[in-house]
Amino acid sequence: MYKNGRDLDGTEKRLWLAVVSGCVLVASSAALSGFSFTRNSLLTVGFYGLFSILSARRRANDHPVLKFALRFLNMLLLFTIIGMVGAVASYVSMKHSIDFKDGVLHEADRFIGFDWLGVREWVTSHPALLVTLSAAYFTHIAFPPIIIGVLCIKEMFERLYFFMTAFGVSLTITVLVSFFFPARAAFVYYNDGSRPANADHFDRIIQGITDGSLTAIDLQDLGGIITFPSFHATMAIIFAWALWPFAASRPITIFVATLLSISAIPIGGHYFVDILGGSLVAVAALCTVRTFFHRTPPMDDVVTIHAT
């Protein structure tokens, strides 16, 4: 029984079942779409499978530190697998999409008066701001272990499982929507000569998928190829929601999450409408997942964490 008096082991098992089912579905779809997986990918799958079994072997009489470590690693692995499955699904989606929609996204930005090139030039002309936003862009890597660790320590397992489910649902929505709005990103559309190297790498992946030259997927080198909606914007909101109960750290959480979302424009090559779309996806995912939980931790259920 967990801290809130409810046994949520069943929820964890259902999460794993859903993710494993998603793995099978996406892998089958990839195979039917002409993709194969590299040897490194198969080794990765085997390692993750073995590690997931070992990390799930928690017993009631285990030492508290051991139980925490196993649950933390189990949830971090689950989060990683969800992201990996979503990335492969985005390759399949891009494979079957028709025509890039960069022009449509550009016109949407233009309609609301957003000048992407102007913003990009302004950011690159301020080195300190460029460094700050570049660092913020990659905080999506640091947020998950922090969230999982904190929620495990505070034994807020219901919120942890809600967070994991919302992440998976939001990624599913993102991939489905991206099928109708495939794009090569603003860096390519505006022919930005100062774009970062990873932008060229991701564009080569997109071109390889669309022209059929990329057929072998390497799970250790998956690229973020979705432009609309921005999953960085989606993650920023979901990350902030997960840490919302902790009032002491809330200002810094909001600040960093905001930078994470904003940085997707000049650093990630997203259009402004991508950020709006990603934000809507996050809200939709959180509202959807709420219906699957008997008691959803409310946004105003504040737990003040005092420094010790």
pLDDT at residue number 48: 80
Cβ atoms of 187 and 269 within 8 Å: the answer is: yes
Chain position carrying tokens 């949407």: 108
* Residue 107, φ and ψ in degrees, nearest 5: -65, -35
For residue range 111-166, list pLDDT tens digits in order.
999 999 999 999 999 999 999 999 999 999 999 999 999 999 999 998 999 999 99
pLDDT along the chain (308 residues), means of 10: 50 87 95 94 83 66 76 91 96 94 97 96 96 96 97 93 96 97 95 85 93 92 92 98 96 97 96 98 95 55 40
Q: How many alpha carbons lie under 13 Å from residue 294 in its C-beta half-sphere?
A: 6
Residues contacting residue 16 through CB under 8 Å, at least 6 positions apart: 52, 56, 78
Q: For residue 233, which phi and psi values (nearest 5 degrees)?
A: -65, -40
Residue 306 is predicted with a pLDDT of 40
Query: What number of CA atoms fall less than 13 Å from residue 198's CA on the CB side?
Result: 11
Q: Residue 246: helix, strand or coil by DSSP?
A: strand
Give phi and psi for 38, each to the nearest 5. -70, 165
Q: Give Dmax (Cα) for the chain.
A: 61
As to burial, measured by CB atoms within 10 angstroms (0-12 exposed, 13-18 middle, 19+ buried), residue 21 is exposed
Long-range contacts of 290-296 (CB under 8 A, 24+ apart): 292/165, 293/158, 293/161, 293/162, 295/4, 295/158, 296/162
pTM summary value: 0.89
Please list, in sequence order, all residues whose beta carbon lies within 8 angstroms of the beta carbon of residue 149, skipping any fewer than 6 positions away.
Answer: 72
Q: Could you tell me the residue ranges of all domains in the chain?
A: 9-290
